[in-house]
Structure 1
Amino acid sequence: MPHRLFVAIRPPEQIRDALIDTMEGLEGARWQGEDQLHLTLRFIGEAEAPLANDIAESLCTVRPAPFALSLKGVGHFERRGRPHSLWAGLSPSRNLLDLADRVEKACRRAGCTPETRRFAPHITIARLNSSTEPIGGWIANHGDLRSDPWPVDAFILYESHLGAGGSLYEPVVRYQLKSA
C-alpha cells in the first residue's frame, strides 16, 4: 500500500497560536486545524514502501545549520481565477531556500521525479470553495501579520492520511539540523 508523503517544517506553538488567532471572520472558509499547520518543503505524493524507505534514508544527509524564520503577511492562491486557499507568508530567507533545495536533491537521489513547481514558502491556513465569501476584507484585516523570528532546528517527513474530516498528518521521521 503506498504512502502519501511530504517534507515540512512544523512551526512552534507560539507561531501556530498566532496563525489560529487569524482564523475567523470569513464565512465558508475551512480553517486548518492546529495539527495541520506546517511549511511544506517538498510534496512527494504516493510512494511505495521501498521508495519511502529510500527517501527517509536520503533525507538523513540534509544537515544545514539551524536558522530563523518569521511570519510576514498573508495572501491567497488561485485556480482558474478563483481563490482556493489562504496562506501566511514568511520573510525572505536564503537559508530556507537552501534547505528546500537540499531536500529536493535528496528526494531525487532517492528516486523521486523532479518537482516542477517553483518553491513558494507559505503556511496554508484555510481552504476555500465557491461558497466562501469574498476574501478582500479578511486579507485587509490580516495583511500586516508579523512574528518575531523563531528557530528552525529540524524538519519532518510526514505521511498524510486522507479522511472525510480532512487530512491527518503523521510525523514519520524528524531530522535534526546540525548544531553550530
Structure 2
Amino acid sequence: MPRLFTGLEIPSDVGFALSLKRGGLAGARWISPENYHITLRYIGDIDRRTADEVVDVLERFGAAEPFALSVDHLGVFGGNKPRALYAGVAPSEALTRLQGAHERALQRIGLPPDGRKFVPHVTLARLRDTPPGDLAAHIAQAGHFVPLRFTVHQFVLFSSRDSVGGGPYVIEQDFPLAA
C-alpha cells in the first residue's frame, strides 16, 4: 500500500536558504533539504485502487492559477513538548483555496476528512527532548529573516516509505496549475 499526500515542492534556492537554519539544536533530527515540502493534504496508506482514484480526481482538478508564496518565520509544533521545528508560510488566500479544494475532492472519492487544522509550513527538524531554552534561543537567533518568496506553478502527489519522519519522499505525479 502506498502512503500518499499532496503538496508543494520547495524550490532549491529557497531550500538552500532554509537549510542555513539547521544546526546547533540538541535533540533535533534535521530534515534533508531535498525533502522540504508544504503538505496540502495527507492521504495516508491506501490500496492501489484508491491510489488510482486519487490520481484520477487530481487530474480532473478545477482551474487554479499560479500564485506567490512567502516563507517568513520559524515556529514549533508541540507546545510544552516540542516535536517539530518548522518554517512558516505567510497567509495566502490562494494557498488556502487550493488546500480546501484538495480536501473536498478527496472526500468526494470517499476519503475521511483530515481532522487537523491546515497550518502551511516546511518541517525543518523533528525534535526529541530538546531543551526549551535552547529552542527559544535558536528561534530568537534564526527565526526572523528576509521572507523567501517563490511562485507555485504546480502541486504534486508524493509517496513516502514507512520511516522515522522526514522522507525520503518520491514525486509520483505532478499537476500543473493553469496559466
| TM-score bin, normalised by smaller chain | over 0.9
Q: How does 1:1-180 map to 2 (within 5 A)?
A: 2-62=1-61, 63-78=63-78, 81-130=80-129, 132-134=130-132, 135-163=135-163, 167-179=167-179
Q: Which moved more, 1:68-77 or 1:107-116?
A: 107-116
Distance 2:167 2:85 in 1: 17
CA offsets, 1:13-53, max 9 Å, x none? 11100110101121221000012100000011111000011
Aligned in 2, Cα 1:122/1:148: closer, same or farther, shift over 3 Å? Answer: closer
Instruction: Detail structure 1 runs of 4+ shifted over 2 Å in the superposition.
Output: 145-149, 162-167
Tell me by how many angstroms 1:110 deviates: 2.1
Identity over aligned pairs, percent? 35
Question: What secondary structure, in the 3-state scheme, does the structure 2 residue paired with 1:111 have?
Answer: coil
Q: Contact between 1:73 and 1:145, CA under 8 Å: does it hold in 2?
A: yes
CA contact (8 A) 1:154 1:174 kept: yes
Distance of 1:109 and 1:146 partners within structure 2: 40
Distance in 2 of aligned mates of 1:25 and 1:106: 42
Alpha-carbon distance in structure 1 between the residues aligned to 2:49 and 2:85: 35
Aligned-pair RMSD on alpha carbons? 1.5
- Post-superposition Cα deviations, 1:93-134, rounded to whole Å, max 9, x if no partner, equal 00000000111111112221111111111111000012x233
> Could you say what secondary structure the match of 1:26 adopts?
coil
Distance 1:166 1:8, change over 3 A: closer
Shift of 1:165: 8.7
- Deviation string 1:35-87 (CA, Å, 9 cap, x unpaired) is 210000001111100001101110123330000001111010006x3000000
Question: Where does structure 2 lack aligned partners over 5 or more consecutive residues?
Answer: none
